[in-house]
A = this chain, B = another copy of it.
Amino acid sequence: MADIAVMGYGTVGSGVVKVLETNKSLIGRRAGQEIFVKYVLDLRDFPGDPIEKKITHRFEDILEDASISVVVEVMGGLKPAYDFTRRALEAGKSVCTSNKELVATHGQELIEIAKKNNVNYLFEASCGGGIPIIRPLNSSLTAEDIDEISGILNGTTNYILTEMSEKGSDFETALKEAQELGYAERNPEADVEGYDACRKIAILSSLAFGRTVRYEDVYTEGITKITPLDIAYAKKMDMVIKLVASGFKTGEGGTKYNCLVSPFMIGFSHPLSRVNGVFNAVFVHGNTLGDSMFYGSGAGSLPTASAVVGDVVDCVRHLGKTITIIWDSEKLVLSDIKTVSRSFFLRVPSKDLDRAKELFPVKEVIRLDSSSDEVGIVTDVISEEAFERAANSLGTVISRIRIAI
């Protein structure tokens, strides 16, 4: 029997206990031994809950119990999660987490500490909820030179954009509905401003490219400025608007990298275009594999918990042995986003179309209806810097959205 502890009895923590209970015999069979939750660490008590008697308020109870081989950290945030994780690893206990903030901030260091102590720090649930993507990156796509990893990594914003697209509602209305359904927090900033997706793509890019991508270096733009009119143009062009987080090779010979989070217009031939509602997906392009995509529930108590428990099983299978994760402390040098080139969509007042044609490499002009006093423009490929310069010169750009090819 493998004794484990769960730190944090919130949405994911209670899900972990539930998944372990629901699929107990299957999980025990796959781990090679029964997995038993000995402690649940939380500041609160849970009278009447089945885990009532397992609750401890002292981290040291877990740390000092030599029988505990795996610790689940689903507290979230950096404090005290970072300190607890470090100390657990140093005490020879593996740690499994869904804590994207901690992994994006200290993941590389914690992996190193785990390695030194012959234990594991696993974080499948930190990106894309229940979608297996971390393990495929670490263990399956090992023959690939990955040149792009792009994802719809935030269920809240994808739900909002899907609602806006299907019902024609504006951002505020769709956000309110998402909040009422529990898909968005009362303070939705981390989701709608792209901060959540930013941390996730920093983690995924670090693993895909093998060096550290600091989330602070990732250009991040949210979806708060997207309007029903933007979406109407996208529809007219047979495209959708998605919040895409992407890490990719750029520059000549693909020797540089860039990483960003931004709304993108995507054509329906792209696999990510069909990912709707609270679903998430991660698209990977490798030099010999070509396109691949991993799709599934991006959030939710049980799917995320399922990924955490999958990591627990892997830790139990690998007691005394560290699973290889290639994530160097060396920083991945990101090129300035200004140097990245792509097509853009922009809206301008009809009266400025001629001037816009002088300033931008206009590829296509889109009119929603003939009486409208504005037009949409699709540009040819142009650098972010040149686009910005032209937009400033024009001075009357109503909105602009990047286009994914």
Q: What are the residues of chain B within 8 A of A309 when measuring CB–CB?
A: 142-143
Asked if residues A294 and B297 are in contact (CB atoms below 8 Å), the reply is no
A306 partner, pick from B29, B289, B302, beta carbons under 8 A: B289
Q: State whether the Cβ of A195 lies closer than 8 Å to any Cβ in chain B.
A: no
Chain A at the B interface: mostly helix, strand, loop or mixed? helix
A271 partner, pick from B15, B132, B145, B295, beta carbons under 8 A: B295
A287 to B321, CA, bound (A): 30
Q: What are the residues of chain B within 8 A of A32 when measuring CB–CB?
A: 324
Least CB distance, A165 to chain B, in whole angstroms: 15
List residues of A (140-198) whose CB comes within 8 Å of B's CBs.
140-145
List residues of A (290-306) whose CB comes within 8 Å of B's CBs.
290-297, 300, 302-303, 305-306
Interface range for A: 35 or more
A313 partner, pick from B143, B286, B297, beta carbons under 8 A: B143
Asked if residues B324 and A210 are in contact (CB atoms below 8 Å), the reply is no
**What's the number of copies of this chain in the assembled complex?**
2
Residue of B nearest to A268 (CB): B274
Asked if residues A290 and B30 are in contact (CB atoms below 8 Å), the reply is no
Residue of B nearest to A273 (CB): B274
Chain A positions near chain B (C-beta within 8 angstroms): 15, 18-20, 22-23, 26-27, 29-32, 124, 130-132, 135-136, 139-145, 210, 271, 274, 279, 286-297, 300, 302-303, 305-310, 312-314, 317, 321, 324, 326
Known: A139-B139, A290-B296. 8 other contacts (CB 8 A): A29-B326, A131-B292, A136-B136, A144-B310, A279-B291, A288-B305, A293-B293, A293-B294
